[in-house]
């Protein structure tokens, strides 16, 4: 096959594995289940252990099927390298575990995935200060920076209120100050947006969501875009300092987080995620079109008080989303008029599934304050703009008319 450099997003994903020869011409990278790798020459095994020769050692640190997926994700994110983990949270935990030390400071968006919010509470107890700011405004990020700030962490589109971080300006700020910019790209996926374009050094994806797409497998990834200068990062241990500066960050993450804490992605899961990823672009386009149609329907309805969706011109960051993203994504949230109980409404839906998850082929719906953001408590929910009656929808790929009809008939009950 010719070099893939000039092919588009989906062509690249479909044909990436075949860039290297696969036995029997298999069109999928095979699932390699072996935990250990045997060498015919004992010295060769020693050379692999000493980093003088590339090769696999033990399944927790690396596996050929997982490596093929890592390469695919690097292609999607236009990254230098990627590391896969058992879940998205393992990937997020790995960034903190491998790169932060006591006395460090982090600036994080206040609009955050609930479990990431919980991780920040843990790191605060371990002596890492976290400032939570409104990341839709770069001035707030800048005001929170300190000499010991090691990273700025944001999501692209926040769940569930869909606030969009001021990505370009935060990226420029981090670049000017030499601070690592970490972007959780889960809500947009690399098809709608590449954080490298706004200067992110590390990109996180929960593979469980849109990339795998079918609600049947968990996974996560960290990608290094190559834009951050690891030679300037203080927390790199001496043994990783000896490597080329471009590799230092990811080498430390692979050893200190993946190897030492062991949240490795299984080869079977890697295969399933790779198959799901083949249709990422198709699903994102269909989900985004369905979500825009549903958001428009809800906004016009007199029983609905407010709709949050970046594709609506009324959204505060609509212009930014239009400029940065290929489409507006699958996630929307809304509130009904105060006289309608959100649970009474939810009971009338026949198609949308009452479940927590995002980026699935099926439309999923949930009352967030009572479920996924319940643990956070009312004060923190208020800070994130989450009303008690807020309903979140992850829009699927159903036929649009069926989806709209389901919401219409549920609204008509009131
Ligand atoms: C779901 C999600 C995660 C965590 O991913 P898991 O694979 O469920 O561990 C992280 N960030 C965002 C934005 C998410 O939506």
Q: Is the CB of 114 under 6 A from ligand 1?
A: no
Q: Is the CB of 155 under 6 A from ligand 1?
A: yes
Structure tokens at 384: 């994130």
Mean pLDDT for 285-298 is: 98
Q: Is the CB of 358 under 6 A from ligand 1?
A: yes
What is the tens place of the pLDDT at every residue in 149-194? Answer: 999 999 999 999 999 999 999 999 999 999 999 999 999 999 999 9
Measured in Å, residue 332 CA sits from the centre of ligand 1 at 16
Q: Quote the Cα angle for 8-14-20, to 5°.
A: 105
Question: What is the predicted pLDDT for the residue at 373?
Answer: 87
Is 322 a residue whose pLDDT tops 70?
yes
Structure tokens at 125: 């107890």
Residue with tokens 């994110």: 77
Q: Is the CB of 186 under 6 A from ligand 1?
A: yes
Q: Which CATH number fits domain 9-277: 3.40.50.300, 3.50.50.60, 3.40.50.720, 3.40.640.10?
A: 3.40.640.10
Structure tokens at 234: 């203080």
Q: Is the CB of 329 under 6 A from ligand 1?
A: no
Alpha carbon nearest to ligand 1 atom 5, residue: 88
At 1, the pLDDT band (50, 70, 90 cuts) reads: very low
**Whole-angstrom distance, CA of residue 33 vs CA of residue 65:** 9
Question: Which is more confidently placed, 82 or 3?
Answer: 82
What is the tens place of the pLDDT at every residue in 327-370? Answer: 999 999 999 999 999 999 999 999 999 999 999 999 999 999 99
Q: Is the CB of 89 under 6 A from ligand 1?
A: yes
Residue intervals of the chain classified under CATH 3.90.1150.10 are: 282-411
Between strands 129-133 and 105-109, the pairing is parallel
Find out if CATH 3.40.50.300 is the number for domain 282-411. no
The closest of 90, 36, 23 to 63, measured between CA atoms, is: 36
Mean pLDDT for 104-125 is: 93
What is the tens place of the pLDDT at every residue in 250-268? Answer: 999 999 999 999 999 999 9
Mutate-to-test residue for ligand 1 from 90, 91, 186, 371, highest number of ligand atoms within 8 A of CB = 186
What is the tens place of the pLDDT at every residue in 44-65? Answer: 999 999 989 999 999 999 999 9
The closest of 174, 190, 149 to 229, measured between CA atoms, is: 174
Distant-in-sequence contacts of 167-174, Cβ < 8 A, 24+ apart: 167/195, 167/198, 167/320, 167/324, 168/198, 168/199, 168/324, 169/138, 170/135, 170/138, 170/141, 170/198, 171/198, 171/199, 171/200, 172/199, 173/138, 173/141, 173/142, 173/145, 174/199, 174/201
Measured in Å, residue 171 CA sits from the centre of ligand 1 at 22
Nearest atom (ligand 1) to Cα of 209: 1
**Whole-angstrom distance, CA of residue 282 vs CA of residue 246:** 34
Q: Is the CB of 184 under 6 A from ligand 1?
A: yes
Measured in Å, residue 305 CA sits from the centre of ligand 1 at 28
Question: What is the predicted pLDDT for the residue at 101?
Answer: 97
Measured in Å, residue 6 CA sits from the centre of ligand 1 at 31
Question: What is the predicted pLDDT for the residue at 3?
Answer: 56
The closest of 188, 410, 155 to 291, measured between CA atoms, is: 188
Nearest atom (ligand 1) to Cα of 357: 1
Residue intervals of the chain classified under CATH 3.40.640.10 are: 9-277
Q: Is the CB of 220 under 6 A from ligand 1?
A: yes
Between strands 364-367 and 391-394, the pairing is antiparallel
Question: What is the predicted pLDDT for the residue at 96?
Answer: 95
The closest of 336, 266, 348 to 306, measured between CA atoms, is: 336
Measured in Å, residue 154 CA sits from the centre of ligand 1 at 13
**Whole-angstrom distance, CA of residue 396 vs CA of residue 361:** 5
Residue with tokens 């949240």: 263
Question: What is the predicted pLDDT for the residue at 19?
Answer: 86
Measured in Å, residue 134 CA sits from the centre of ligand 1 at 20
- In our burial notation (b when 16+ CB lie closer than 10 A, e otherwise), range 198-228 reads bbbbbbbbbbbbbbbbebebbbbbbbbbebb
């Amino acid at each position: 096959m010719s070099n893939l450099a000039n092919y588009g997003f989906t062509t690249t994903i479909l044909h990436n594995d075949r860039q290297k020869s696969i036995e029997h011409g298999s069109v999928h990278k095979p699932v390699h289940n072996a935990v250990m790798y045997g060498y015919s020459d004992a010295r060769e095994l020693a050379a692999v252990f000493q980093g003088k020769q590339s090769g696999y050692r033990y399944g927790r640190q690396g596996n050929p099927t997982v490596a093929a997926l890592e390469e695919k994700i690097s292609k999607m994110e236009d990254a230098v390298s990627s590391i896969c983990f058992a879940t998205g949270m393992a990937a997020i935990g790995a960034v903190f575990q491998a790169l932060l030390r006591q006395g460090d400071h982090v600036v994080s968006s206040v609009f955050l995935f609930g479990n990431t919010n919980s991780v920040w509470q843990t790191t605060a107890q371990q002596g890492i200060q976290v400032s939570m700011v409104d990341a839709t405004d770069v001035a707030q990020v800048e005001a929170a920076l300190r000499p010991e700030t090691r990273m700025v962490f944001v999501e692209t589109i926040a769940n569930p209120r869909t606030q969009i971080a001021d990505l370009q300006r935060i990226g420029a700020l981090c670049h000017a100050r030499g601070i690592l910019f970490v972007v959780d790209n889960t809500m947009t996926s690399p098809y709608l947006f590449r954080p490298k374009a706004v200067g992110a050094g590390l990109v996180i994806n929960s593979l469980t969501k849109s990339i795998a797409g079918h609600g049947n497998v968990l996974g996560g990834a960290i990608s290094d875009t190559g834009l951050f200068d690891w030679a300037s990062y203080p927390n790199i241990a001496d043994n990783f300092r000896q490597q080329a500066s471009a590799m230092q960050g990811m080498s430390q993450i692979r050893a200190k987080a993946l190897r030492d804490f062991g949240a490795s992605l299984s080869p079977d899961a890697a295969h399933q995620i790779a198959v799901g990823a083949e249709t990422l672009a198709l699903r994102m386009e269909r989900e985004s079109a369905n979500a825009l149609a549903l958001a428009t329907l809800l906004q016009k309805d007199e029983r609905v008080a407010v709709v949050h969706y970046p594709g609506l011109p009324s959204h505060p960051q609509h212009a930014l989303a239009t400029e940065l993203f290929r489409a507006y994504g699958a996630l929307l949230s809304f509130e009904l008029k105060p006289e309608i109980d959100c649970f009474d409404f939810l009971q009338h839906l026949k198609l949308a599934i009452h479940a927590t998850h995002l980026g699935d082929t099926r439309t999923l719906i949930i009352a967030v304050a009572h479920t996924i953001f319940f643990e956070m408590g009312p004060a923190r929910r208020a800070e994130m703009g989450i009303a008690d009656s807020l309903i979140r929808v992850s829009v699927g790929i159903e036929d649009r008319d069926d989806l709209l009809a389901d919401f219409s008939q549920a609204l008509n009950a009131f």
